[in-house]
Amino acid sequence: MKAIVVDDEIAMLSALKEAVEASTDIEKVDAFSACSAVLEYIEENEVDIAFLDIMMRGIGGIELAKKIQEVHPECKIVFCTGYSEYAIEAFQQHVSGYLMKPITKEAVQKEIDHIKELQVSKKVLKVNCFGNFEVLANGKPLSFKRSMTKELFAYLIDRNGSGVTSQQICAVLWEDGDEKAKLVYLRQLFSDLRHTINEANISGIVRVNGYQYSVETEKIDCDYYSYLKTGFPKFHGEYMSQYSWAEGTCSVLAYENKRD
């Protein structure tokens, strides 16, 4: 898990960071003493779990939690505070945990273990790439606000978990046009995609790592991914037929299919 810790008291922040780093489930921890710095960070970085002080200068921990979950709906929030009277308001934000200061390594690990137990491992998103590209969430077709949002998701699926930058995506989806305008539109498409996935009550599908975007392949039931791993279902020559840029992958699949 990638974690952030936020507290405007430096001594408390240091102790919290040390407690979170002690968990073997945490691969990376970034610490912040200002809410404004967190808001900049989450726009370009993935966050799986956030440990937030409640009483902070600026917008405060509860409002910060709301903004984090707007960008990363799948992010788990654990509030860390010395004021138990904020518990009800905190849990109204649908947080995952509430720790009382002073924070201990054992308390942090207990919260992480609880989060792990609640996470649903089954794949709830089904993606069909052979033939036309289609997406089903919990057995029902996923409704995209824009056709380009669906195409953006198709391209991320095609990359099979590999990270791609905004510039790479723009080069594939639009051959011509002003570069700045394309990047602005792409940000809108990503916003639409996050909203669509969030509305379907699915989390952790699209990931952001620095300036690269990718999909979490282990959470997706995809015929293309299954074919690459097992050879099933059989490939019959059509792959994301509605998208011209998918012809490259289709040719590779056809070549490999003939060799087999």
pLDDT at 9 exceeding the cut of 50 = yes
Least confident of 30-34, 81-85, 224-228, 255-259: 81-85
The pLDDT assigned to 20 comes to 96
Mean pLDDT for 218-244 is 91
The pLDDT assigned to 72 comes to 86
AA letter at 61: G
Q: Which residue has the higher pLDDT, 121 or 211?
A: 211
| Phi then psi dihedrals of residue 200, to 5 deg | -85, 5
Q: Give the burial class of 46: count Cβ atoms within 10 A of its Cβ; 0-12 exposed, 13-18 middle, 19 or more buried.
A: buried
pLDDT at 260 exceeding the cut of 70 = no
The pLDDT assigned to 100 comes to 86
AA letter at 4: I
The pLDDT assigned to 158 comes to 98
pLDDT grade for 85, boundaries at 50, 70 and 90: low
pLDDT grade for 232, boundaries at 50, 70 and 90: confident
The pLDDT assigned to 139 comes to 82
CA 241, 244, 245: angle at the middle one, nearest 5?
A: 115
Whether residue 233 is preceded by a cis peptide bond, meaning omega within 30 degrees of 0, is yes
Q: Give the burial class of 140: count Cβ atoms within 10 A of its Cβ; 0-12 exposed, 13-18 middle, 19 or more buried.
A: exposed
The pLDDT assigned to 42 comes to 93
pLDDT at 3 exceeding the cut of 60 = yes
Find, among 119, 128, 160, the residue nearest to 249 by Cα: 160
H helices of 49-139, where?
61-71, 87-92, 105-118
Instruction: Give the percent of the chain with pLDDT over 70.
Output: 91
**Rounded CA gap, 225 and 132, in Å?**
15
In this predicted model, what pLDDT tens digit does every residue of 61-72 receive, in sequence order?
889 999 998 888
The pLDDT assigned to 93 comes to 53
Least confident of 89-93, 114-118, 154-158: 89-93
End-to-end alpha carbon distance in the chain:
39
Residue 125 CB neighbours (<10 A):
20
Please provide the average confidence, as pLDDT, over all residues in the chain.
88
pLDDT at 37 exceeding the cut of 60 = yes
The pLDDT assigned to 121 comes to 44
